[in-house]
Chains A and B, each alone.
Chain A
Amino acid sequence: MTEFEGKTVLSLHVNGNFHEVLVRPSDILLDVLREQLGLTGAKAGCKNGDCGACTVMVDGWPAKSCLMLAVEAQGKKITTVEGLGGKAAVQNAFVEANAFQCGYCTSGFLMVCHALLTQHPVMPDEIVVEEWLQSNLCRCTSYQEIREAVHLMYDAVQDADV
């Protein structure tokens, strides 16, 4: 059994490295990533799980880091947008498709798309894409551009495989 009371030092595995952080058990992962690790790519849009701007990847699945306690992240592999390193297919796809304007929701969308690619290496039905991407909100684009980016991401991955 694990029990944390009061401020505790945790070791979190983020973007391939272990980081020690000092957290309260009630601290959410988003705040710890941003304020202690300086990983400000994940954004706070509502802190209520509704907008998806804080989405990161946890063990290969998308997770809203505002609705996860930092203590729960121990022992898990966290990937943030910074962990994509500018090399992920999804990043180029978003640039190509002009899939953002203000950029605030972008990290969250990128991480959902990246997780989608992780779980579905071959492009799934459009309905699955929609279901995954409905977890996030964008106020600037028409969404068509983001959809297009998902297609470009899969195209690029396929081309690379060939």
Chain B
Amino acid sequence: MIPFDFVYCRPDTLREAADAFKRYQGKNKKAVCYGGGSEIITMCRAGSIHPDAVVDIKGIPECGILEKDDCFLTIGAACTLSRITESKLFPLLGLACGRVADHTNQCRITLGGNLCGTVIYRETSLPLLLSDAEVTVGGPDGMRRVPFQNIFDGRVRLREGEWIVQAHIPVWALQARHAHIKKTAQEKIDYPLVNVTAIWKEDVLRAAFSGICSRPFRSRRVEAVLNDRGLPPEIRAEKAAGLLPEPPYHDVEGSGEYRAFVFKNTLCELLEAWQNDRV
């Protein structure tokens, strides 16, 4: 039960959506982009957000698109995680989607929602960071297309009234060699203690992480260490753990020290698998 009222708006076109955001802004009303709604509904119930309007983008055709051309796989922001998984078009992203929340929720949670939510893990961002993905952003001044990493520093940075319309993944990445290792405190259905996601481009390992720090990230310095194949896996893992952009995250689910321990183990697991050709 949400103890306050908001306006529910469901535009049919990108134009209508942009106009709606503009209109609410003009009336000084706080409007939020609404995808699957799971996070918005829970936060409204808990009283942590009080939007005046929710703009449901599920009716906009461009936001529901899931198709591949010669250069890119395009995924609409309103595509549900389960649809992405079941399409099998980008298996690595499918693996990430298949481990966010639970299956029933995956039928509701959208790619845009997972990327833009306030829950810090944003695990679907990792495959996008690794694959040189681009995103189309809608807003009051029309659409713009930018590299995903330009608008993502651990959370999505957009201008007022902007929202993600689509993600575009270069085709090279779709069937690239990859790995997705998610470790939780104990229960499988949980936020990650550590999520290590990897992709190989021309036998060079790229890796991005969630859970270990307070935001997801990809680090060239960490990647350089991980690719130093002259060193044994444990040493590389140890060195990588020393290169975190901030101290390990800690909360009820896991202490910083333990996350660091799991992080190193998980990197070892990844590197050993690589070494033994098991990825």
Q: A residues engaging B (CB < 8 A)? A: 1-6, 24-28, 31, 47-49, 52, 55, 61-64, 66-69, 71-72, 112, 131-132, 134-136
Contact = CB atoms under 8 A, between A and B. Distances in A.
B273 interface: no
B107 A26 contact: no
A1 B11 contact: yes
Chain B interface bracket (under 10, 10 to 19, 20 to 34, 35 or more):
35 or more
Interface stretch (B35-43, B70-78, B173-181, B260-268): B35-43
A99 B204 CA distance: 50
A25 B37 CA distance: 13
Nearest to B38: A67
A136 B101 CA distance: 11
A134 to B, nearest CB: 5
Interface in B33-60: 36-38, 41-42, 44-45, 54, 56, 58-59
Given A1-B11, A69-B41, A26 B104 contact: no
Given A67-B42, A72-B37, A72-B56, A3 B189 contact: no
> Interface centre among A5, A26, A136, by most B CB within 10 Å?
A26
Interface in B93-107: 98, 101-105, 107
A154 to B, nearest CB: 18
B30 interface: no
Nearest to B15: A1
B108 A25 contact: no
B2 A28 contact: yes
Contacts of B10: 1-3
Contact of A25 (B7, B12, B13): B7
Contacts of B11: 1
B189 A134 contact: yes
A47 B1 contact: yes
B201 interface: no
Interface string B112-147: 000000000000000000000000000000000000
B61 to A, nearest CB: 13
A112 B105 CA distance: 12
Given A3-B9, A134-B188, A134-B189, A31 B104 contact: no
Interface in B1-28: 1-2, 4-13, 16, 20
A131 B103 contact: yes
Contacts of B16: 1
B107 A25 contact: no
Nearest to B12: A1
Nearest to A61: B107
B4 A26 contact: yes
Given A2-B10, A3-B9, A48 B2 contact: no
Contact of A24 (B5, B54, B82, B105): B5
A135 B56 contact: no
Given A26-B44, A71-B8, 15 more contacts: A1-B9, A2-B10, A3-B10, A3-B20, A26-B2, A28-B41, A52-B104, A61-B82, A67-B37, A67-B38, A67-B105, A69-B37, A72-B56, A132-B104, A134-B103
6 contacts: A1-B9, A62-B104, A63-B104, A64-B108, A67-B42, A72-B58
A135 B13 CA distance: 33
A131 B82 CA distance: 11
A62 to B, nearest CB: 4
Contacts of A62: 103-104, 107
B7 to A, nearest CB: 5
A31 B105 contact: no
B12 A31 contact: no
A68 B109 CA distance: 11
Contact of B108 (A28, A52, A67, A136): A67
Contact of B20 (A1, A6, A49, A55): A1
Contacts of B188: 134
A68 B87 CA distance: 24
A135 B2 contact: no
Given A3-B10, A47-B1, A68 B108 contact: yes
